[in-house]
Amino acid sequence: MKDPEGASDEGGGKAFSGDAELPLPLERLSEGEIERKRCIVRITTYVMRDLTSTFLRSGFEWMLPVVLSKSTDPLWPDPGASIEKRIEVEIYDETVRATLSMIIHKMVACSLTQPRLFLLSPNIRIERRDRATSGVHIYEFTQLDFEVRDATSEDIRILVEGALHGLIDGLRRDMREELTSLSRYDGLRPLRVPFEVYDKEELEDKYGDEWESQLAAESRDPVWVTNIPREFYDYEDLEKGKWDNYDLFLPGFGEVLSGARREWDYTAMVRKMERDGVPPENYRLLLKLAREGRLKPSAGAGIGLERLISWIVGAQHIAEVQPFPKIPGTIYDL
């Protein structure tokens, strides 16, 4: 996830310039700052209740998260990744890793037990210290992850658009006092669906390497970006070199969701691993299921909850919406 530097607040979101002031821990907040924090907590509660209820009403089953595993997202060769250190520990004479994301687990569970699943997944990504003031990076965060067997990318985009459209309408209706206190009621406009869809290659042709910040600055509504070169588990047409994946960008903010139709073909998976230098031994079970034909086609995504809530409340820094900030390079007592 790259820094949306230089974004304007024309679309109603908070513009991040790359030099955001770092939030203070709870015990150092003034009374006014404590009251602002209380408003953010009430908004957070509303967001999580509304989104999880939407998924339950849509026939999804709630899965519990995984924190330690032998297999997790490689985050490679994603050019936006900036991991300084990967957390590995030895338990029971085996090396396990802290969850970077639960994509691998989602693919397996969706194939074998839960064709429509969602979960609140804690992720640990030790970001480089120079991302402390980006305003959008933290080293511990939560994703609303979901996966649907036999779904298309369009199915997932329609699902997300409906969920976010309902969420913003509900916030404006039920949380007007809190949004007004945060100076966000007027800026948080009702969303127009469907969202525009752009191809990454076309955006690069138009804006160059700064396409992400330009897109965030010029958009007045959320927009989709497709065809993003990424990890082996995203579906790629190897003949055409096109990726069937999608990221969602919020106006004046930047990326809040990443997702894709998944790769389930064993041969294609191995070919991409070899091409990208991904160690297959870290994904033995996934490859075994694919080879046996037990890995099913699916599509899904993960919404960064802290990022979404930051945009909604107009936070100065994403860690402001955390009760205990997890800022790159900074360790507080709690």
DSSP string, 205-272: HHHGGGHHHHHHHH-SS-EEEE-----TTB-EETTTTEE-EEEEEETTTEEEEEEEEBP--HHHHHHH
Does the structure show a pLDDT above 60 at 285?
Answer: yes
Does the structure show a pLDDT above 50 at 60?
Answer: yes
Of 102, 24, 45, nearest to 325 by C-alpha is 24
pLDDT, one tens digit per residue, over 71-94 is 999 998 876 678 888 999 999 999
SS3 189: coil
Classify residue 65 by burial, with Cβ atoms within 10 Å: 0-12, 13-18, 19+: middle
Q: What's the pLDDT at 87? A: 95
Does the structure show a pLDDT above 60 at 13?
Answer: no
DSSP string, 17-42: -S-PPPPPPGGG--HHHHHHHHHHHH
Per-residue pLDDT averaged across 235-250, rounded? 97
SS3 198: strand
Q: pLDDT-based confidence at 19, cuts 50/70/90? A: confident
Domains of the chain (ranges plus CATH)?
26-321 (3.30.930.10)
Distances (CA, A) of 317 to 20, 37, 313, 325: 6, 13, 11, 10
- In b/e form, how buried is each residue of 184-200, taking b as 16+ CB within 10 angstroms? bbebbeebeeebeebeb
pLDDT, one tens digit per residue, over 185-220 is 999 999 999 999 999 999 999 999 999 999 999 999
Does the structure show a pLDDT above 50 at 328?
Answer: yes
Per-residue pLDDT averaged across 59-81, rounded? 91
Residue 1, token pair as written in the block? 């996830």
DSSP string, 61-121: EE----SEES------S-TT--EEE--EEEETTEEEEE-S--HHHHHHHHHHT-SEEEEEE
Q: pLDDT-based confidence at 135, cuts 50/70/90? A: very high
Does the structure show a pLDDT above 50 at 12?
Answer: no
Does the structure show a pLDDT above 50 at 184?
Answer: yes
Residue 139, token pair as written in the block? 């080293």
Per-residue pLDDT averaged across 127-149, rounded? 96
User: Bigger pLDDT: 3 or 149?
Assistant: 149
Phi-psi region of 116 (alpha: psi -120 to 50; beta: other; left: phi over 0): beta
Q: pLDDT-based confidence at 150, cuts 50/70/90? A: very high
pLDDT > 90 in the chain, percent? 90
Q: pLDDT-based confidence at 17, cuts 50/70/90? A: low
Does the structure show a pLDDT above 60 at 9?
Answer: no
Q: Characterize the bridge pairing of strands 140-149 and 245-250.
A: unpaired
Residue 273 C-alpha from the chain's centroid: 23
Does the structure show a pLDDT above 50 at 4?
Answer: no
Contact 253, 236 (CB under 8 A): no
Cα dihedral 275, 279, 281, 286, rounded to 10, equals -60
Per-residue pLDDT averaged across 10-32, rounded? 74
Q: Is the dihedral of CA 15, 16, 20, 25 positive or negative?
A: positive
Q: Is the dihedral of CA 3, 199, 306, 166 positive or negative?
A: positive
pLDDT, one tens digit per residue, over 163-181 is 999 999 999 999 999 999 9
Residue 230, token pair as written in the block? 């990424």
pLDDT, one tens digit per residue, over 111-131 is 999 999 999 999 999 999 999
CA–CA distance, 97 with 69 (Å, rounded to integer): 5
On the CB side of 1, CA atoms within 13 Å amount to 24
CA–CA distance, 1 with 81 (Å, rounded to integer): 6
Mean pLDDT of the chain: 93
Phi-psi region of 59 (alpha: psi -120 to 50; beta: other; left: phi over 0): left
Q: What's the pLDDT at 6? A: 29
Does the structure show a pLDDT above 50 at 8?
Answer: no
